[in-house]
């Protein structure tokens, strides 16, 4: 999996690169220190599986960078990194195409799990937002017209559920192509994603279905109605 990390704090960037570099799933972690560098990079190389984007960069707004990526390369998932946890901000970011929001105070396990979820087709939001524990407004904000309450469920990726198993829509798409006997490279071409992303989806499918190999996974999926001949 190829990851592009965009953050202007050298210490945080180096620490996250080191953490991800120790995980086999992340076979290449690239990094830039500004929004302009990120845009220049993606203008020349879009074979990226996920972008980790600091919301508060010195040269550009994280929102502006997110919107640019979603216009130019909408297939690339973007996870926002931030020190803040306002639900209104998270809602706005997700509405503009972000696939996840991770606070910088999160543990390393949470960060890695969130990234894996997003690459697998899901959307990650802080658990506190699901329980309404995040601060939604200030005293000044209370005097302004309010948006509708945040509904995190409206941003969660759809899952295909059968016999107690849960697959994201993207995993189901990959599984459907697996049922046709296609290789990872062929699936990548069919679904317009990188082979490394397909590999991640296949691994997640095998784990979820508790299958030892692709053949068994496809057979189980047909029996459970995930895919059809």
- Same structural domain, 44 and 6: yes
3-class DSSP state of 122: coil
For residue 224, pLDDT beyond 90? no
- The rounded mean pLDDT for the chain is 80
Across the range 131-135, mean pLDDT stands at: 52
- Same structural domain, 147 and 220: no
- Same structural domain, 22 and 85: yes
Residue range 80-98, pLDDT digits in tens? 999 887 888 888 898 888 9
- Same structural domain, 11 and 82: yes
Structural domain total, the chain = 2
* 88 is a domain residue: yes
* 229 is a domain residue: no
- Same structural domain, 165 and 131: no
- Same structural domain, 76 and 166: no
Across the range 50-59, mean pLDDT stands at: 94
- Same structural domain, 164 and 189: yes
- Same structural domain, 180 and 88: no
- Same structural domain, 48 and 34: yes
For residue 228, pLDDT beyond 90? no
- Same structural domain, 107 and 178: no
CB 29 within 8 A of CB 3: yes
Domain limit, last residue, from 105, 127, 155? 155
pLDDT band at residue 130, thresholds of 50, 70 and 90? Answer: low
Angle between helices 108-119 and 195-209 (to 10 degrees): 100
Least Cα distance to 90 among 143, 6, 44, 147 occurs for: 147
**Which domain does 47 fall in, by range?**
2-155
3-class DSSP state of 9: coil
- Cβ-proximal residues to 208 (8 Å cutoff; 6+ apart), any chain: 165, 166, 167, 171
């Amino acid at each position: 999996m190829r990851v592009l990390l965009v953050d202007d704090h050298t210490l945080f960037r180096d620490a996250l690169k080191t953490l991800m570099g120790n995980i086999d799933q992340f076979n290449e972690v690239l990094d830039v220190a500004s929004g302009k560098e990120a845009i220049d990079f993606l203008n020349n190389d879009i074979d990226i599986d996920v972008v980790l984007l600091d919301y508060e960069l010195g040269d550009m707004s994280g929102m502006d960078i997110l919107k640019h990526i979603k216009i130019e390369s909408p297939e690339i998932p973007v996870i926002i990194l931030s020190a803040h946890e306002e639900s209104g901000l998270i809602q706005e970011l997700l509405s503009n195409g972000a696939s996840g929001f991770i606070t910088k105070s999160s543990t390393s396990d949470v960060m890695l799990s969130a990234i894996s979820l997003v690459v697998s087709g899901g959307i990650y939001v802080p658990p506190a937002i699901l329980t309404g524990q995040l601060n939604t407004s200030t005293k000044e904000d209370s005097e302004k017209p309010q948006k509708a309450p945040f509904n995190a469920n409206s941003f969660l990726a759809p899952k295909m559920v059968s016999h107690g198993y849960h697959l994201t829509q993207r995993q189901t798409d990959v599984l459907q192509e697996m049922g046709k006997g296609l290789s990872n490279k062929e699936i990548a071409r069919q679904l317009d994603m990188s082979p490394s992303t397909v590999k991640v989806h296949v691994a997640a499918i095998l784990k979820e279905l508790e299958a030892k190999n692709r053949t068994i996974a496809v057979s189980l999926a047909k029996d459970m109605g995930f895919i059809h001949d």
